[in-house]
Structure 1
C-alpha cells in the first residue's frame, strides 16, 4: 500500500515537471518565432542613408532646402545627413561628394555647380552604384539620375520680362550674380539677357559676382554705381544679392529712384519688398526641392523608374502680391 502511494506521488511530481518543461519549451519557441517576425518586419522597413550636400551650409536658402529634406526624412523613414562647405567653395564641395562616395552612402543629393568639375565626381558615384540627384543646379551631361529644382533659364527670362514691364522698357541695368562659374547663376543671367535683348530702351552696362554673400553684393553694387552712375536698375541672381544691393541704395539715399529685382523670398527680402526698396523678386520653392529630392531618391532605391527632370514652381511677385504667408511661398509641398 505504501509502495502504491509512493508510486502515485512520484508519478505526479514527474508529470508536473514534464508539464513545466513543455510549457517552457513551447514558450521559448513562440518567443523565437516572434523575434523572427520582428526581424522580418524590420528588414522590410530598411532605413537608407542619404546625404544632402549644399553649396553653403548656413545659407538661409539652403536651410529651407534642408527643412524640406528633413520633413521627407521623417515622413519616409530614411536617414538624412546634411553636410557641405561652411562657405561656398567648389573644391570643398567636390571633396564632400568624394567623402560621401567613400562612405558608401545609399544616395547623394547635390548641385552640379560647374559641370566640368562636378561631372567626373557624379559619374564616379554612379559607377560605384550610388545614385545621384542634382538639386537647384543641374549637370545634364553627367550620369545623374534626375534633377529637382527651378528651371533657371526660365526664371531669368521671367525676371527680364518683369523688369521690362515695370520700367516700361527703359532702364540702365547692373547685374550682381552669385558666381560666374556656377551653372544655375549663368542660366539666370542668360535668360535675363535674352528677355531684354530686343528692348532698345534697356541696356546692361555691368555684371559683378557676390560669392553669394550680402557683404560682397553690397560692395559690388557700390562699385557698379561708382563706375556707372547712370544705372537705374539692378538684377540680383542669388538669394542675398538683392538684399546687399538694397543696403547700398538706401545708404546712398537713392532707393526711390532705383529699381531692384532679386531672387527668393527670405524674410528680409519680403520686408524690403513691402517697404518698396525691392520692386520684385523671383519665387522659388527650396523647401519643395528638398522634400521632392528625398522622395525621388527613395523611389530609385525601391526600383521605381523616375523622370529625369522635375521642375519646381517659378514666378515673380511684387509688393501688391503681399501679404503672402511665408508657408505658402516656401514650404508648400505635395506629400506622398
Structure 2
C-alpha cells in the first residue's frame, strides 16, 4: 500500500511539473508576441466571420486612426473581424511585407493604399491572383487589378487648394510647396492639381517644391531652409497632414504670421489650433472616417457578389477659420484610447 501511495505522489508531481512548465512557456510566448512592433499576428478569424485587414501607411498617424475608427464601426455593424496593422512610421518596404503576410494568411479581404506604381501595383496584382479582393483607401492604384477605390480625388483636392490660394492672395504670391513624398502617387497628384490650378495666374510663382517624408520636423526644416534661401516666399502649400503644422511653427518663429499665407491638408488638432490662431489660413478637408467605413461595407458586398463601383470619391473641400467647428465630428476629432 505504501509503495502505491509513493507512486501516486510521484506521478502527481510529474503532471504538476509539466503543467507548470507548459504554462510558463505559454506566458513567455504571449509576452514575446505582444512586444513585437508592427508584427501583430494576423490570426484566423473567429466564429467563421469574414477576416479583413486594413494596412495604413503609418500605424499611429492621427489621420489613419480616423480611417481605422470608421472601419471598426462598419466591422461591428457587419459582424466581421477587422485587423489594423501597419508600419509604425511610413516605410514602403515594411508596408509591402505586411501585405505579403496578410495575403499568405489567406484573409478574406485587404484594404490598403496604392502608394507607388512600382511597388504597390505588382503587390496588389499578386494578392488578387490569390483570389483575395483588394480595396484601395485614400490613395488609388488605378493601373492595378484592385477591386475598388474609396477615398479622395487627390488631383481635385490639389486643384481646389490652388484655387483657394489664388483667391485668398488675389492672384499674387510667391509659393513654396512642401509635400509628404515626391514619389507617393496621392502626394504627386495633390502637387500637380495645385500647379494646374494656378498656372494661368500671372502673379503666382512656384519658387520651390520640397519633401517632408510626412514628418512635422522635416516639414519645419524645409520651411526654414526655403525662407533662408528665398525670403521673397510669402505663401506655403503643404500636401500632407503634418506639413502645414511644421510650416506654421517656423512662420511663428520668424514672426511672419501677418505676411505669410499657409494652406494645408486635413484637420488634425494642431492644424485646427493654428487655423483658429490665424497662422494657417485654410486647409483641405477629407473624410477619413467615411473612407474606412465605406471600405469595409464595400468589401462585404464584394465577397457576397454584389456590384460595387470601381471608384467612390469621398467629399473634399477647403475650409477656413469661419467654417469651424466642423460637423460631423467623427471625420475630424481624434480621440486616443
Shift of 1:73: 1.1
Alignment partner, residue 15 of structure 2: none
Shift of 1:139: 0.4
Residue pair 2:66, 2:331 contacting (<8 A) in 1 also: no
Cα distance in 1 between the residues matched to 2:110 and 2:331: 26
Higher share of residues assigned helix: 1
Residue pair 1:283, 1:329 contacting (<8 A) in 2 also: no
Cα distance in 2 between the residues matched to 1:318 and 1:267: 14
Cα distance in 2 between the residues matched to 1:211 and 1:116: 18
Which residues of structure 1 form unaligned runs of 5+?
1-44, 332-336
Cα distance in 1 between the residues matched to 2:103 and 2:280: 42
Alignment partner, residue 151 of structure 2: 149
TM-score (norm 1): 0.84
Residue pair 1:61, 1:239 contacting (<8 A) in 2 also: yes
Which residues of structure 2 form unaligned runs of 5+?
1-46
Residue pair 1:296, 1:306 contacting (<8 A) in 2 also: yes
Alignment partner, residue 306 of structure 1: 308
Alignment partner, residue 183 of structure 1: 185
Residue pair 1:173, 1:203 contacting (<8 A) in 2 also: yes
Question: Where do residues 94-105 of structure 1 align in structure 2 (5 Å cutoff)?
Answer: 94-105=96-107
- Give secondary structure in 2 for the equivalent of 1:88: coil
Pairing partner for 2:206 from 192, 204, 207: 204
Alignment partner, residue 42 of structure 1: none
Residue pair 2:218, 2:246 contacting (<8 A) in 1 also: yes
Residue pair 2:326, 2:332 contacting (<8 A) in 1 also: no
Alignment partner, residue 56 of structure 2: 54
Shift of 1:131: 0.3
Shift of 1:226: 1.0
Alignment partner, residue 289 of structure 2: 287
Cα distance in 2 between the residues matched to 1:232 and 1:328: 34
Question: Judging changes above 3 Å, is the alpha-carbon distance between structure 1 residues 106 and 328 closer, same or farther for their aligned structure 2 residues?
Answer: closer
- Give secondary structure in 2 for the equivalent of 1:255: coil
Alignment partner, residue 40 of structure 1: none
Residue pair 2:66, 2:289 contacting (<8 A) in 1 also: yes
Question: Where do residues 229-268 of structure 1 align in structure 2 (5 Å cutoff)?
Answer: 229-268=231-270
Shift of 1:323: 2.8
Q: Per-residue displacement from partner, 1:277-314 (whole Å, max 9, x unpaired)?
A: 00000000000000000000000111111110000000
Pairing partner for 1:139 from 125, 130, 141: 141
Alignment partner, residue 275 of structure 2: 273
Alignment partner, residue 213 of structure 1: 215
Shift of 1:327: 0.6
TM-score (norm 2): 0.84
Are 1:67 and 2:69 an aligned pair? yes
Shift of 1:324: 2.7
Are 1:318 and 2:320 an aligned pair? yes
Cα distance in 1 between the residues matched to 2:263 and 2:80: 38
Cα RMSD of the aligned pairs, angstroms, is 1.2
Residue pair 1:175, 1:234 contacting (<8 A) in 2 also: yes
Corresponding pairs, count: 287
Cα distance in 1 between the residues matched to 2:324 and 2:330: 11
Cα distance in 2 between the residues matched to 1:180 and 1:283: 21
- Give secondary structure in 2 for the equivalent of 1:199: coil
Shift of 1:325: 4.4
Cα distance in 2 between the residues matched to 1:47 and 1:321: 42
Pairing partner for 2:166 from 164, 167, 178: 164
Shift of 1:330: 3.4
Shift of 1:256: 1.4
| Structure of larger gyration radius | 1
Residue pair 2:289, 2:330 contacting (<8 A) in 1 also: no
Q: Per-residue displacement from partner, 1:14-65 (whole Å, max 9, x unpaired)?
A: xxxxxxxxxxxxxxxxxxxxxxxxxxxxxxx841000000000011100110
